[in-house]
């Protein structure tokens, strides 16, 4: 009679068994649950000494004890130093989003300003992402609005071009920006390249914090022009000085003792937390942003601050100084890791007096107010989601609602849009657009377009779930449309075997009046909600947001199509020949009117290519 295998180890017993094989070295450990999901990622100076604490029940809160009970396996990676372990831990937390870790959820890249120096006439522009363009970068700015306002002012003050290289090369007359005194027009030679380069250097000096010196030099020039009775040139300099002064006036805080620093303030209350980050660069306030990391009420402020700093600066430039209101756990180790990443000394400090202390107190006040607003909004949001649950007969309040809409004009530039909402409101980082690709869809076929969008979305969901990946699954899908759209969607869901997601159609009532919407649930007659119901108003907002997103995506696509240059469609006309043709004839329309002999005069255009270009514009 064969012996039955002993049951697999789990929880504290499993951890105790793993410890017997662990080295006394730095590293990272992962606790894994029953379905292969990562519950927690941690780092240790000694894996053996740290992990044994879980088996012995040391320092456990009830939440950590629950995590140990859920553990079914563990994975380990040894590292050379504890600093390396910290950097790896941060990276894995951001990738895997473990349930029991403090987690920074909203992690968008920040906009910057770049002075692009690849061209003889440097270009001033907004930038996001990796520094792949050769030039001088300035930032981060807290929002697109902050960087746009600064760009607008810099254009007025330094008259630097913002146009693309292809537009620059094709100009024969100054553009509108020159007419309104926001560009010096180097494209048409109205300013020499050496004089333009001097404007570029002044803009760079201003962005590096030398604003007073730049404004003083401009003031002296203005006075000189005035003394020489060149009042028009003096007036132009006066306007530029005013533009620079406006930046200082718009920024409420411009510290005198802080040149480059981030001010980070944490306020936690009722199991929620807000972290406000203010950016100071070149002695100027470049805006602030609020973050709401996922925390537990048992998490200490020092631990939350440490986790936030690590995840926040994982893929962002680190300033020389980070001012905080709560000293992070393992501050020296974090400073060492940041110094290693930035390749220069980074300091984390908690000021107790003076201007720096006042900056931190101001950030803390903002964090406290932002968390108060969020807690009030989330309370109202919870009531609305409970109302949606009751209205549609769901099993529980939906955590993730996906809303779909299409947009097109007579079937052209057709796109589908998906927006996402939940307990924290609209989750804009989760929005998705779908360019309609189906060749068998009749132009204007809304049913066909909706089927394509839903098929692509949920085929991907099925594929990711089969691969064991953590795919975002909605609790409720809202479709803009009535019975026909619902039937089309349910056909797709049945084909894919997705039968456990609630689907509801929202159709406007007679004369498309808001407040008379009809709701369609498969297998049930349509129904309406009370006209002044808060739930109805919430559902209208969801539908309107989906419509806004789809329309905006469609307009962007249509605009891009309209801006396409016909020369891009001609085989053999690359960027170089395109630039030469535009330079010779001024525009694509000018090229279309040219004869073969005229085309042959353009450098790089052979006889066969001239015939091809000539024929392309006369193929009709």
Helix 231-250 with 144-158: angle, nearest 10 deg? 160
Sign of the CA dihedral 356, 361, 367, 369?
Answer: negative
Low-confidence ranges of the chain (pLDDT < 50): 1, 249-252, 411
pLDDT of residue 349: 94
CA 275 to chain centre: 18
203-250 pLDDT, tens digit each: 888 777 666 666 677 777 777 777 777 677 677 777 677 766 665 544
Radius of gyration of the chain (CA): 30
Cis-peptide, bond into residue 140, ω within 30° of zero: yes
Question: b/e map of 569-582 (b: 16 or more CB within 10 Å)?
Answer: ebeebeeebbbbbb
d(CA 63, CA 67) in angstroms, rounded, equals 6
Query: Which residues, listed in sequence order, are joined to residue 347 by a DSSP beta bridge?
Result: 321
Q: Where are the beta strands (DSSP E) in 197-301?
A: 261-269, 272-281, 284-291
52-75 pLDDT, tens digit each: 988 887 656 788 888 999 999 999
pTM: 0.65
pLDDT of residue 43: 94
Look at phi and psi of residue 160 and say left if phi exceeds 0, alpha if psi is from -120 to 50, else beta.
beta
Q: What is the enclosing helix (H) or strand (E) of 599?
A: helix 596-600
pLDDT of residue 212: 65
Q: Which residue ranges form the domains of the chain, and what is each CATH number? A: 11-96 (3.40.1440.10), 112-250 (no CATH), 261-373 (3.30.420.340), 401-561 (3.30.420.340), 566-616 (1.10.150.20)
Q: Are 282 and 138 in contact (CB under 8 A)?
A: yes
Non-local (6+) Cβ contacts of 335 within 8 A are 346, 347, 348
Q: Are 288 and 366 in contact (CB under 8 A)?
A: yes
Query: Which residues, listed in sequence order, are joined to residue 324 by a DSSP beta bridge?
Result: 264
Percentage of the chain beyond pLDDT 70 is 88
pLDDT of residue 100: 92
d(CA 92, CA 76) in angstroms, rounded, equals 12
């Amino acid at each position: 009679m064969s012996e039955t295998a002993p049951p697999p180890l789990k929880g504290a017993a499993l951890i105790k068994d793993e410890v017997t094989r662990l080295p006394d070295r730095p590293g990272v450990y992962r606790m894994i649950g029953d379905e292969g999901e990562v519950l927690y990622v941690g780092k240790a100076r000694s894996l053996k000494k740290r992990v044994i604490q879980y088996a012995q029940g040391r320092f456990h809160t009830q939440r950590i004890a629950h995590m140990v009970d859920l553990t079914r396996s563990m994975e380990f990676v040894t590292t050379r130093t504890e600093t390396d372990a910290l950097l790896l831990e941060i990276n894995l937390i951001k990738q895997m989003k473990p349930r029991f870790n403090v987690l920074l959820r909203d992690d968008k890249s920040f906009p910057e300003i770049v002075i692009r120096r690849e061209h003889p006439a440097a270009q001033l522009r907004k930038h996001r992402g990796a520094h792949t363009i050769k030039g001088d970068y300035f930032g981060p700015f807290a929002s697109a609005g902050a960087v746009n306002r600064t760009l607008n002012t810099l254009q007025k003050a330094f008259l630097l071009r913002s146009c693309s290289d292809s537009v620059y090369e094709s100009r024969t007359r100054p553009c509108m920006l020159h007419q309104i005194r926001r560009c010096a027009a180097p494209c048409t030679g109205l300013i020499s390249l050496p004089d333009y380069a001097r404007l570029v250097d002044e803009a760079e000096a201003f962005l590096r914090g030398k604003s007073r010196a730049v404004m003083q030099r401009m003031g002296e020039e203005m006075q000189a022009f005035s003394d020489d009775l060149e009042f028009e040139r003096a007036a132009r300099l006066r306007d530029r000085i005013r533009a620079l002064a406006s930046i200082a006036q718009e920024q409420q805080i411009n510290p005198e003792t802080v040149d480059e620093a981030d001010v980070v303030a944490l306020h936690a209350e009722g199991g929620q937390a807000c972290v406000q980050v203010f950016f100071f660069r070149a002695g100027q306030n470049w805006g602030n942003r609020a973050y709401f990391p996922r925390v537990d009420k048992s998490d200490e402020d020092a631990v939350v601050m440490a986790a936030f700093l690590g995840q926040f600066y994982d893929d962002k430039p680190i300033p020389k100084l980070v001012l905080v209101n709560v000293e992070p756990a393992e501050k020296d180790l974090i400073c060492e890791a940041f110094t290693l990443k930035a390749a220069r000394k980074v300091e984390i400090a908690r000021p107790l007096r003076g201007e720096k202390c006042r900056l931190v107190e101001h950030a803390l006040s903002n964090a406290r107010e932002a968390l108060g607003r969020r807690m009030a909004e989330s309370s109202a949001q919870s009531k609305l989601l409970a109302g949606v649950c009751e209205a549609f007969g769901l099993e529980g309040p939906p955590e993730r609602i996906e809303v779909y809409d299409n947009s097109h004009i007579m079937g052209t530039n057709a796109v589908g849009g998906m927006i996402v909402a939940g307990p924290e409101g609209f989750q804009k980082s989760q929005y998705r657009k779908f360019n309609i690709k189906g060749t068998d869809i009749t132009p204007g076929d809304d049913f066909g377009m909706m089927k394509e969008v839903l098929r692509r979305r949920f085929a991907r969901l099925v594929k990711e779930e089969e691969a064991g990946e953590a795919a975002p699954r909605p609790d409720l899908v809202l479709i803009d449309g009535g019975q026909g759209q619902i039937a089309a969607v349910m056909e797709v869901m049945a084909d894919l075997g997705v039968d456990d997601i609630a689907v509801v159609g929202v159709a406007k009532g007679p004369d498309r009046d808001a407040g008379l919407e009809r709701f369609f649930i498969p297998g049930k007659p349509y129904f309406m909600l009370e006209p002044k119901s808060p739930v109805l108003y919430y559902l209208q907002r969801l539908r309107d947001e989906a419509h806004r997103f789809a329309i905006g995506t469609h307009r962007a696509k249509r605009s891009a199509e309209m801006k396409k240059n016909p020369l891009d469609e001609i085989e053999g006309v690359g960027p170089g020949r395109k630039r030469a043709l535009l330079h010779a004839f001024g525009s694509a329309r000018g090229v279309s009117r040219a004869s073969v002999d005229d085309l042959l005069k353009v450098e790089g255009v052979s006889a066969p290519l001239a015939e091809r270009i000539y024929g392309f514009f006369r193929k009709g």
